[in-house]
Chains A and B, each alone.
Chain A
Amino acid sequence: MSQQQLQTVLIVEDDADIRRLVAGLLSRENFEVEEAEDGVAMDAVLSRVRPDIIILDLMLPGEDGLSICRRLQGHGIPVIMLTAKSDEIDRVLGLEMGADDYVVKPFGPRELIARVRTVLRRGHPPAPLAPPSRRFAFAGLTLDVDARRLTAADGASIALTTAEFDLLTALVEHPRRVLSRDQILGRIFGRTAEPYDRTVDVLVSRLRKKLSAVTPDMALVTTVRNGGYLFTETVRRVP
């Protein structure tokens, strides 16, 4: 292999002008460029060439950018997502799906080049050996999601029903975020609220009673006006 081997960038973007402009920009920076307008074209390129990095647009016709990102995980090629949404959640989601970085449109050319170089320098981090632990510590209590156990500071186990445990897990996995009744119902029972559905309210009230027995001076679960619940304490992951 020659020392001056150019690195190959595959750009997957449906807008032809942007694709062309970025390709031109990358070539001027001494990259080899492959282009694809959607998931199908991308697969065709991948069967031919192995790029060093993929720039992937979030909004693509046909197969969605996020889903493509997810299935690229196994390939070991770093991915930079291009997103037009300023919504943080989409960015975070993209990163959780295995993207290495993101760039928001409209982006400055220098910004894009800088990110590409950074990611290439960093290399693609190996897949984590084990999934992150599902044990959480808060307010002197420990919640072990896999073992389905809630323990107090003194080691005593606190009995919770299945539904109460699922509710606590949902709240603890999103600490300090307001979850609506629909979100909670979807998480625990996989359905949305019917009119006058008081299932969540009743469940929260029971959970509160059990928690306040162990942490009497703290209100761990608060009701937010207009139907949402909030876990008030900060939560730490525990190995």
Chain B
Amino acid sequence: MLRLTLATRLALVVFVTLIAVRLILLVGNYAGTDPSWSEVSPDPADLAAIVPILEALDPAARRALVGAVSRHDMVLTLTADPDAGDAADAPARESDALKAIYAQALPGRVIVVEHFRRRFFGNLPYFGRRSRLARVEIPLKTGETLIADGGRANLSTQFGIPTGLVGGLVGTLLALLALFLMHRELRPLVRIAAAADRIGLSSEPQSIAAPRRAAPEIHALVAAFNRLQQRLVTLSRARMAMIGGISHDVRTFATRLRLRLEQLEGPEKANAVRDIEDMVAMLDDALMASRAGAGELSLELLDLVDLVAGEVDDRRSLGAPVTFAQRPAPETALVVADRLALRRVLANLVDNALAYGRSARVAVEVVGATVALIVDDEGRGIPAETRALLMEPFVRGEASRSRSTGGAGLGLSIVHALVSAHDGTIEIEDARGGGARFRVVLARFDARAGEPARKQP
């Protein structure tokens, strides 16, 4: 039931209502319009009235009367040979009960009564009761035999079609027309849903237009939707501008601090310098995560192996214990991603590994339609309970926020935000040897397919 569209539902309502009304009228029609219904057909009283009249007329008048009086529920035939025509009829049998009824109406006559059934449309029920149809053969004093066949008055039109059938068909056609018209009216709703999916917060809002003749409610909804889009885009841009502004201003202050620091000496100087760098890096992360969240990534086709190799080389040149342990062939680990964002992700993971796990071991794996970036460390590992929590901002594996372990804990939540913006996933596992393993999975780019391969859910 849930899958039926709004238009279909409305059309069904109309359709069912039409059918119901139709049926009610039909039943009323059948029930109320047959004054000629009687228990047995032909009506014995009618026969009793006609027979004497026929016997009193001359042959020509007799035939004329038979023709004139014959009707649906009493078909009269005058014949010299009573046995002719029997074979063509529906199965019949003698019935003593019926015979008694007719014998009562036409006393003293030798009557042959056969009771037979006709097809449904020849014997419609009246308030649930059906007439019993009979064929009565009455020998007349004139030597001929009057054959009277019972029947039921068919409610049918002049074309022989039962009344109501055409009405029903017309109703169906009208309902189909209504369905079509309603689809047209409601199409803007379908478009709104599609447009909502397409909203990219970074681009110009894609306003949709309601057709000029659409209902006022549809116009109102479309207008509200367009305004909402505009608000979302404005909000997103305002937020990014604010973070960008803060980042810029902080860098100005940081520059002053850094230059002033130069004139100081002492053991704290190096720490102060590092603090400034960390502070700026953290703002960069926040800005990038905000842009990524709004879809403002500048995407490229990248070879993950090149990117990782570059980063690992940079670290090693500064003496850090970072290794690129496992790499697939060039041009196999291709992804569509923002270069700066991926470098940020890798840098954060390596920073964490070095800070908590003494060393970082990086690997890239191609698995089917995905590419995995794996960073292992040699620390104590991360207990299963804390894993989900770690992705929240400002949570760290240990409760303290001591300076020596650096950072305020934004790192992993930034990584999570950036990875999600690329439709990727990040998982925390155990490394071989006890440390923690971070696995980032992204969709692999496949030129042959014409589109980036979809990541397996």
B254 in the interface (beta carbon within 8 A): yes
- Tell me whether A146 is interfacial, beta carbon within 8 Å: no
Chain A residues with CB under 8 A of B300:
176-178
Contacts A105-B251, A223-B450; is A89 near B204 (CB within 8 Å)? Answer: no
Does B12 count as interface, using CB distance less than 8 angstroms?
no
Q: Known: A18-B252, A195-B208, A218-B447. Contact between A89 and B298, CB under 8 A?
A: yes
Interface assignment of A192: CB less than 8 Å from any CB of chain B: yes
Interface string of A144-188 (1 = CB under 8 A from B): 000000000000000000000000000000001110101000000
In the A-B complex, list the 10 residue pairs whose CB atoms are closest, starting with the nearest: A178-B299, A21-B259, A106-B254, A176-B301, A84-B251, A106-B255, A106-B258, A105-B255, A105-B251, A219-B447
Q: Are A105 and B252 in contact (CB under 8 A)?
A: yes
A84 to chain B, nearest CB (A): 4
- Report the bound CA distance from A195 to B199 in whole Å: 12
Q: How large is the interface on B (under 10, 10 to 19, 20 to 34, 35 or more residues)?
A: 35 or more
The interface residues of chain A lying within 8 Å CB-to-CB of B277 are: 106
Question: Is there a chain B Cβ closer than 8 Å to A120's Cβ?
Answer: no
B178 at the interface (CB under 8 A from A): no
Set A18, A22, A178: member contacting B336, Cβ < 8 A: A178
Say yes or no: B204 contacts A18, CB within 8 Å. Answer: no
Q: A86-B284, A182-B203 are in contact. Are A25 and B450 (CB under 8 A)?
A: no
B-contacting residues, A21-50, CB 8 Å: 21-22, 25
Per the bound structure, the CA–CA distance linking A32 and B259 in Å amounts to: 19
Q: With the chains together, A86 CA to B257 CA distance in Å? A: 19
With the chains together, A25 CA to B256 CA distance in Å? Answer: 12
Which residues from chain B sit less than 8 Å from chain A, CB to CB?
A: 195, 198, 200, 203-204, 206-209, 247-248, 251-252, 254-260, 262, 273, 276-277, 280, 284, 295, 298-302, 336, 339-340, 423, 445, 447-452
Cross-chain contact A18 with B255 (CB below 8 angstroms):
yes
User: Measuring CB to CB, which residues of chain A are less than 8 angstroms from any residue of chain B?
Assistant: 15, 17-18, 21-22, 25, 59, 84-89, 105-109, 176-178, 180, 182, 192-193, 195, 218-219, 222-228, 230, 232
Bound-state Cα–Cα, A227 to B206, Å? 13
**Would you mind naming 23 contact pairs between A and B with Cβ atoms under 8 Å apart?**
A18-B252, A18-B255, A21-B256, A21-B260, A22-B259, A25-B259, A59-B248, A84-B247, A88-B339, A89-B298, A106-B251, A106-B280, A108-B258, A109-B258, A178-B301, A193-B206, A218-B447, A223-B451, A224-B451, A225-B423, A226-B295, A230-B336, A232-B447
| A21 proximity list for chain B (CB < 8 A) | 256, 259-260
Q: Shortest distance in angstroms between A121's beta carbon and chain B's nearest beta carbon?
A: 23
Closest to A89 in B: B298
Cα(A161)–Cα(B259), bound, Å: 57
Which residues of A sit under 8 angstroms from B262, Cβ to Cβ? 25, 108-109
Give A17 to B254 CA distance when docked, in angstroms. Answer: 12
Q: How far is B339's CA from A235's CA once the two chains are assembled, in angstroms?
A: 19
Asked if B299 and A192 sit within 8 Å, CB to CB, the answer is: no
**Chain B residue with Cβ nearest A208:** B450
Q: Which residues of B contact A230 (CB under 8 A)?
A: 299, 301, 336
Name B256's contact: one of A15, A87, A232 (CB within 8 Å). Answer: A15
A226 touching B200 by the CB < 8 A rule? yes
CA distance A25 to B257 in the complex (A): 14
A140 CB → nearest B CB, Å: 15
Given the known inter-chain contacts A105-B254, A219-B447, A225-B451, please indicate yes or no for A195 contacting B259, CB distance below 8 A.
Answer: no
Q: Which A residues touch B450, using CB under 8 A?
A: 219, 222-223
